[in-house]
Amino acid sequence: MSSTPQSKIALIHAEEAAAQEAAQDSARADKRKGLFLRFGLGVAVAALAYGGYDYFVASRHVETDNAYVGADVAQISAQISAPVQQVLVQDTATVRAGDVLIRLEDTDARLALARAQADLALTLRRVRGLSATDMGLGAQVAARAADQARADAALIAARADADRAAIDLKRREALAASGSVSGEELSSARNAAATAQANLRSAQAAVALAAANRDAAAGTREANRVLIDGTAPDTHPEVLAARAALEQARVNLERTVIRAPFDGVVTRRTAQVGQRAEPGKALMVVVPVQTAYVDANFKEVQLTKVRAGQKVTLTSDLYGSGVVYHGTVVGFSGGTGAAFAVVPAQNATGNWIKVVQRLPVRIALEPKELAAHPLRVGLSMTADIDIAR
């Protein structure tokens, strides 16, 4: 049976539809292949970019935002006990090194200084008196030596008199048996001999007394000389001690004026007029903002290649990324923050979980950049260390 024109047209349309569908399927397949190819190319480019970034950038830098500004603050306290007379600064005030912060009542310090000056003058006079006393004691020793010489001479004379009286007595006693000497004359000779012996003993006692007096005078002079031997009045130990007491009194008077130890900003002021300042009790704190540093707490796994002297770039939350600071790694803390915590972690338990520790790294900042954009203690920072150098 022969086909009609209509059926032939329908067949042609069907064939055309099938061809179009096949073409569309081929186009979709080509499109999918292109998409997969572009996706694979994108993944490869991303992997290559990541690898390049990791090799050329990330592997040469370590970064943390766990970093904070610090400074070696000065705690201002009195070094003597005295009432506060004046407080010349308030919190947030900027001070220069040497500026007066607090004045203490100085009446007691001035009196102590005057007393120390008087003590020094008295000590100098006493020491000079010791030198003069030495001269007087020397004269006494010479006088006692002369007394001893006179006593020695008197002893010689008394011994001679005693010998002569003894001889005269023996002669008269020898003559008394023959009656040539009267009893009265013999008694007189005996009395003269006894008197001569008494004078001899008195002379001997006088010699002993003179020797003792000379030794006493010599001992007194030696004791006085020990106090001044080898020293001048200005270098005498008592004078030096009095002069040291005077210097201490002068220093205490100077300490009634409390000054700023360096440039900085005043904070935590507790000093009030009338309050009694005691040594060691904090009155205020001065923060040296121009010498601030940064303590960056890096993870322990980041510190393998970090060394002192490496350069650091930093940004602060205060100024944002528009202000970049440059610094240098100074050193590392002696332990992690957990190790120096008030209550250190106790890992010797059954429920221990490993936690990556952080070690503070001290970073010094450029002074010129700090002067241009001052920082305050405790501000947050982001630190990036170039470990390629």
Whole-number pLDDT of residue 56: 56
- Write out pLDDT tens, residues 88-145: 999 999 999 999 999 999 999 999 999 999 999 999 888 787 777 767 767 777 777 8
pLDDT band of 224, cuts 50, 70, 90: low
CATH 1.10.287 domain extents, the chain: 108-251
Residue 193 has pLDDT above 90, yes or no: no
Would you say 272 and 290 are in contact if contact means Cβ atoms under 8 Å apart? no
Structure token digits, residue 337: 């923050």
pLDDT band at 1 (very low <50, low <70, confident <90, very high): very low
- DSSP calls for 33-96: HHHHHHHHHHHHHHHHHHHHHHHHTGGGEEEEEEEEEE---EEEEBSS-EEEEEE---TT-EE-
The answer regarding whether domain 108-251 maps to CATH 1.10.10 reads no
CATH 2.40.50.100 fits 80-104+252-278, yes or no: yes
Residue 328 backbone class (left: φ over 0; alpha: ψ -120 to 50; beta: rest): beta
Q: Which two tokens stand for residue 289?
A: 């903002």
> What's the CATH architecture for 61-73+287-386?
Beta Barrel (2.40)
Amino acid at 212: A
The Cα–Cα gap between 199 and 352 comes to 110
How much is the average pLDDT of 206-227? 77
pLDDT (0 to 100) of residue 226 = 64
Average pLDDT estimate for 355-364:
92
Domain with CATH 2.40.50.100 in the chain: 80-104+252-278
Mean pLDDT value across residues 150-179: 79
Place of tokens 């190790």: 339
Name the strands in the sheet holding 100-104, side by side, starting at the edge strand that comes first in the sequence.
Answer: 257-259, 100-104, 82-87, 276-277
DSSP assigned state of 283: E
Cα separation, 164 vs 383, whole angstroms:
119
| Residue that the structure tokens 């009155």 belong to | 283
> Which H or E run includes 189?
helix 183-228
What is the pLDDT at residue 242?
A: 94
Mean pLDDT value of segment 263-274: 93
Where in the sequence of the chain do the CATH 2.40.30.170 domains occur? Answer: 61-73+287-386
